Amino acid sequence: MTTTETGGWRRIETREEFVAAFADRPLVDDGIRFTITADGQISGSVDEQRFSGSWYWLDGFFCRTVCLNGKDLGLDCEIIEQRGHQMRYTRNKGNGNSSIVEIGVE
């Protein structure tokens, strides 16, 4: 696969790249804090509401299912990009909204 880079953002193409860059580290922004573990789990909070779920890598996309306060938010596959200490994820296979989080420290 070829690496795509736009505006300093580099697309993450493989599960191995994703795990090396983001797994088991806090990802934070205003009102949101979560961790994506190397073994396929997601947990955190958004605006003080807890969420959890699981993830897998498929055809160059980060695919996740999460529940927010017990409500199933369904499956979404996202494009993942990195720029420095930031991760940008774009929902709906790159056709949806994008969000940026900082790679935090414990």
pTM, rounded to two decimals: 0.89
Residue 106 has pLDDT above 60, yes or no: no
Beta strands in 16-85 (DSSP E): 26-29, 32-36, 41-46, 49-58, 61-68, 71-83
Among 56, 10, 94, 96, CA closest to 1: 10
Domain boundaries, the chain: 5-103
Q: For 45-59, how does the pLDDT look when each residue is reduced to its tens digit (9 = 90+)?
A: 999 999 999 999 999
5-103 fold: Lipocalin (2.40.128)
β-strand partners of 10: 5, 82
Measure the CA angle with vertex 19, ends 54 and 99; round to 5°: 70
Half-sphere exposure (CA, 13 Å, Cβ side) for 39?
A: 1
